[in-house]
Amino acid sequence: FIKVCDRFILKTQDIEEKVSDVKDIDNFYGFIMKYVMGIKKVMGKMFGLGIENIYKYYFFLIMQANIYYPSFADKVTELNDKEYRKWESELLKAIKNKEIKEDIDVELTALQFRNIFLGMSFEKSLTDGLDADLLLKTYLNIYNQIKL
């Protein structure tokens, strides 16, 4: 059980897995595109397992891991913090490179990007799963509001 959770939850949800080749990206717009592409890649792998409505069961697995996997909550908190820091880092680089406005609240904006993904993922987990194209449109809407 622990090995399954490590592979399919902790490794899969690690920001470094989602944007493993982000080093090639030199702007925030590119980071957003790479992030959503990484999510699509993960969703494709999950869908490829052949389990009907895999996304609903994925959330069930996360809830079970929270109960039966010692220190799971701590590990997830660590992953979430790492992802928030990555979003903050990318936002700060974009400010420094004069891609986005400098008067934004970086912490709240990072939180906004992260929570949009989490909220949309959870909401759609009971039906068709996350609509990554709608996620991208939502992200780009925020991007267009903060870009210079």
48-59 confidence digits (pLDDT tens): 788 777 888 888
Residue 4 to residue 132: CA distance in whole angstroms: 25
Query: Which amino acid would we find at residue 91?
Result: L
The per-residue pLDDT for 21 is 64
Mean pLDDT of all residues in 71-82: 95
SS3 content of the chain, % helix, strand, coil (to 5): 75, 0, 25
Q: Over 60: is that where the pLDDT of 22 sits?
A: no
Residue pair 148/98 in contact (Cβ under 8 Å)? The answer is yes
Q: Over 70: is that where the pLDDT of 23 sits?
A: no
What pTM value is reported for the model? 0.90
Percent of the chain residues past pLDDT 70, beyond the cut: 98
Q: Over 80: is that where the pLDDT of 20 sits?
A: no
Torsion angles phi and psi, residue 21, rounded to 5? -110, 30
Q: Over 90: is that where the pLDDT of 64 sits?
A: yes
Q: Over 70: is that where the pLDDT of 132 sits?
A: yes
Residue 133 to residue 136: CA distance in whole angstroms: 5
